[in-house]
Every structure is written in C-alpha cells, then in structure tokens.
Structure 1
Amino acid sequence: MKQYENMIARQRMWMLYLLALLILGAGFTPYLRIFLGLLLGTVISFYNLWILQKKIYDLGEAVVKKQTTRGLGTVARFAAVALSVILALRFEDYFNIIAVIIGLMTSYIVILIDFMVSRFKD
C-alpha cells in the first residue's frame, strides 16, 4: 500500500506543478482565454483524479477487509465534467471550450507519464 500512496503523492505533485504553470501562463501571456480554459479543465481533472484515487484506496481497503463498496464515483466525475463544460459554454468570453476539454484530459496524461517514468526507473 505504501507504493500506491507514493504514486498518489507523485501524481498530485505533478498536477499542482501543472496548475502553477497554467496560472503563470494566464498571468503573463496574451492568451488569457486559452490558459483560463486549460486552468478550468485541469482543476476539474485534478478534482476527478482526487476522487478516483480516494475511491480506489477505499476499494482496496474493502477488498482486504472482505467488504463491499459502492462504486468508483463515476457519476460525480461525470457531473464535474458536465459542470465545467456548461461553465465554459456559458462564459465563452473567458474560457476556450477546446482548452477546457484538453484540460480535462490532463490527469490521464499525468497518470500515463507517471506510470512510464516509474516503470523505466524499476
């Protein structure tokens, strides 16, 4: 379980670094709409990553204790994505919808890169 906790910490750290980079991009570049869209999508993606990691941890604990669990929070994650898309469509002057969609995928990219880096280290 310690290896899983280390993986969670690494993924959250990289997401926070990415969020900081996007904030700097929104503050210091002329592409405000794009960076705000990426920022919105990445924040929701980070929230979804946090929910998924928490649910997987709970699932692992339930398997060890031979109990049942509810689910992996799919409805909550879809609702967060729907909310971000609705916000981007409602406030098109501030958010680029394509950037929001790309931002929603960032946690999966971080997971993939973390997996590849950890496999090459081992």
Structure 2
Amino acid sequence: MQQEDNGTILKRHMKYTFYLLAVFVLGWGFTTYDTAFLGLIVGSVTSFYNHWLLYRKVNKFGETVVTGGKMYSLGTVSRMAAAGLAVFISLRYPEYINVYFVIVGLMTSYLVIFIDFMIQSKKQTNV
C-alpha cells in the first residue's frame, strides 16, 4: 500500500468540490430555488477556502516541527471568521442568500472528505 501525497489528496478534494459547485450553479440558474442554491454556493466556497487554509497550515506545522521551530496556531480564528463572514453576508442579504443553506454549505468539505475516504477505502480493498 502506497502513501499518497497531501497535495494529491487536496487536488482530488478540489475536483469533487468543483463538481458540487457546478451542480449548485446549475440549480441556482435553472430552478426557482435561487436563494437556497446561492446559499449552498456561498457556504461551499467558504468551506473549501477553510479546507485549503487548514491544509496550508498543517503543512507549515509539519515543516516547523521537522526543523524544530515553534508554531502557535493552525488558523482556527481565521477559519471561524470566514464562516462568520459567510453567515453575516447571508443575514445581510436574506432576499438573495438563504442562511440555513449557507450553514449546510459550510459542511461541504466534510462531505467531500468523507466521500473521498469511502472511495479510496473501496479502491484499496479491491486491489
């Protein structure tokens, strides 16, 4: 069993997230549920930004540990601030963006990670 590079995993997560975003954009453009789909888009984009930011911070943390340095944070406050900003924007413009679907969209990265884990586990057991 071969260990994967973190960059490969992030690229795969990015691909899955873009597929979901494409579905959300199509839903926003072609259905009457435009506020719900725009909420999913805003939440998903914020979720992916937080996922990418955590990936960068964890890699930096690993490099810092290897070199013997100190790192004090993994960016929790900035990720919370991004999620708070997405919710704030949806509360400011409720006629365009549904706040409940923003919150659901913020969970998109976790859904993508779970689906990727299931697919990769299935591939490894079939090898």
TM value normalised by structure 1: 0.93
Alignment length (residue pairs): 122
Query: In structure 1, what residue type is equivalent to 2:45?
Result: V
Map Cα deviations across residues 41-72 of structure 1 (whole Å, 9 max, x no partner): 11111111110111111112222222222311
Name which of 82, 99, 114 aligns with 2:84. Answer: 82
| 1:8 corresponds to 2:10 | yes
Q: 2 CA distance for matches of 1:12 and 1:60?
A: 22
- Name stretches of at least 5 consecutive residues in structure 2 with no aligned partner: none
1:2 deviates by 5.0
What is the rounded CA distance, in whole Å, between the counterparts of 2:62 and 2:31 in structure 1?
43
After the TM superposition, which parts of structure 1 deviate over 3 Å for at least 4 consecutive aligned residues?
Answer: none
Q: Identity of aligned pairs, percent?
A: 46
- In 2, distance between residues paired with 1:100 and 1:118? 28
| TM-align CA RMSD | 1.4
Report the Cα distance in structure 2 between the residues aligned to 1:114 and 1:2, rounded to whole angstroms: 13
Question: Per-residue deviation at 1:29?
Answer: 1.1
Q: 1:27 pairs with 19, 25, 29, which one?
A: 29
* Displacement after TM superposition at 1:20 (Å): 1.6
Equivalent residue of 1:30, what SS? Answer: coil
Residue of structure 2 aligned with 1:112, choices 111, 114, 121: 114
TM-score of the aligned structures, taking structure 2 as reference length? 0.89
**Structure 1: unaligned runs, 5 residues or longer:** none
Q: Which amino acid is the alignment partner of residue 107 of structure 2?
A: M
**Whole-angstrom distance in 2 between the partners of 1:85 and 1:2:** 35
**Greater gyration radius:** 2
Shift of 1:17: 1.4
